[in-house]
Structure 1
Amino acid sequence: MKFTAILALLLASTAHGFTVGTVGRSAMRLNMAEDAAEAVAEAVEEEAPAAPPAPKGPQKVPCFGATPWIGGPKFVGENYWDKLTMEYGSAETGTFLRAAELKHGRSAMLATLGFAFHKLGLTLDHISPHKYLSVSEGVTFADLAAMTPLDAMKHVPAEGLTQMFGFIALFEIYELTHKDGKLVQDATVAPGLSPGGLTGDLGWNPLKVEVTDRRRLSELQNGRAAMVAICAWIAASEIPGSFPLPLPW
């Protein structure tokens, strides 16, 4: 009987010791895992770079169309660009200014071609089947061909100038009222009057020409050259000796 009691006590103490030891080791492992996870999290927090502070004040607006030059592209008039887009306006102001330059360049390219055709004798009196530009005003194409280009423009009747203005206005109205080639009808403000709405891109590309940055830059550069050329040609035509280089006419 005594042996049985002693054996029961030994088994109970052994089981108690095993249980306590196992629980203790499990708890120790759990604590170590938690400590390791905390250490890893702290290390990640220390290694993660701090977020840069938010920029203060107006930010510089990048400009497309820098002029290729020795040593890299140069942006002529960058100080004025920064003033207009950062001090007096915003990035949308820059979009409007670039569209204005693009349209002026296109107009100058047309004017340059018209001026050159007139000076080279490629006038409508040799092309048009009609003799008169205006029968009511008695203006013939031959009369205009005998004048300088600027004088010829001055003698175009008011109705003719109105037709030119109306033709140009159609494109402007289209850009004011359309977006992505579609007429916008449910907007309270016309797309062209919203910030950044006027870009000079009418979305009309029937030949599916890929519009790359190189082509955009070429159009800008040709427009800039045409603006300088037409100003020089008009000055040379109206003020003899004002242009120092000889012209082909």
Structure 2
Amino acid sequence: MKLAVALLLAPAAAYVPLRASMQRASTLVRADEEPEAMDLDLGEMFELFDEADPEGVAEREAAKKAEEEAAAKEAAKLAMMVEGASAPFGFWDPAGLSKLGTPATQAWFKAAELKHSRVAMAATVGWIVNEAGIVFDGNIATGVPFSSLGKGVQAWENVPDAGKLQIILAAGAIEFASEAKQPHYMRGGRPGQTAGPFGLRLWDPLNYNGGMDEETKRTKRQMEVNNGRLAMIGAASFVAASYIPDSVPALPSTW
């Protein structure tokens, strides 16, 4: 019986001197001085990790370099678009007008260009459709059928005054809606958003762009500006060809 008790108490007896020894060592350390703390910054910690895992250093450096290159390309792309350059060509505004004025002035320039682009695109499509002989049925006014208006600039001149007034008022309503959008595009808002009265969407009424991610929207906006700039050149060419026959070699002389 005594032997069994001795065997049971042997581990505890061995633990007591060991614990006392650890306490004495701890006391000696505190009596002398506090152990020096490891004060490492993030770079030094990464160096320790690299030393512990040398095989993964190259992979991490390659991944970091690829990430930095992707960020640099994205920053360059955004800077190019902010300055007025037009992807994919990478240049626009040779006179450097996009560098004039304050950020608010630049926002006004961008909003004006976008409005002119949209008007020019609508005008270009309408002009081509009209030149193709496609007109609305019925009358634009009492006794004035659409087919009698003619083509090009002459068609606008033949629109009754009341019709011209309605067109101008409609354009003014869209302009007012775009300027009333808050925050205003000259104070941090994004140009091109035209929310109409009673919740009407005067642009993209079917919310075609609603389900797109931001990257896709950015690409679509750049495409819109590109198409709008081309449409402005096209609309100006149509007007020039109307007043000066054969002034635009690419257009038929009948335009």
Could you tell me which runs of 5 or more consecutive residues in structure 2 were left unpaired when the two chains were aligned: 1-24, 45-77, 196-200
2:86 to 59, 62, 67: 67
TM-score w.r.t. length of structure 2: 0.59
2:109 to 74, 97, 116: 97
- Normalising to structure 1: TM-score of the pair? 0.60
Change beyond 3 A, Cα 1:76–1:193? closer
SS at match of 1:212: helix
Deviations 1:56-103 (A, max 9, x none): xxxxx935264345xxx412116625522xxx212x333322221111
Aligned to 1:172: 175
**Runs of 5+ consecutive residues of structure 1 not aligned to the other structure:** 1-20, 48-60, 180-190
Superposed CA RMSD in Å reads 3.4
Partner of 2:192: 200
CA contact (8 A) 1:105 1:226 kept: yes
Runs of 4+, deviation exceeding 6 Å: 21-24
Are 1:143 and 2:148 matched, yes or no?
Answer: yes
User: Do the aligned partners of 2:105 and 2:186 also contact (CA within 8 Å) in 1?
Assistant: no
**Higher helix fraction (1 or 2):** 2
CA distance in 1, matches of 2:26, 2:156: 105
Report matched runs for 1:125-140 at 5 Å. 127-128=137-138, 130=139, 133-135=140-142, 139-140=144-145
Q: Which has the larger radius of gyration?
A: 1
C-alpha distance 236-78 of structure 1, shift in aligned 2 (>3 A): closer
Aligned residues: 184
1:150 touches 1:234 (CA, 8 Å); kept in 2?
A: yes
Instruction: Give the Å deviation of 1:156.
Output: 2.0
Q: What is aligned with 1:233?
A: 238
1:27 and 2:27 matched: no
- Flag the 1:24–1:244 CA change in 2: closer, same or farther, 3 A: same
In structure 1, distance between residues paired with 2:186 and 2:235: 32
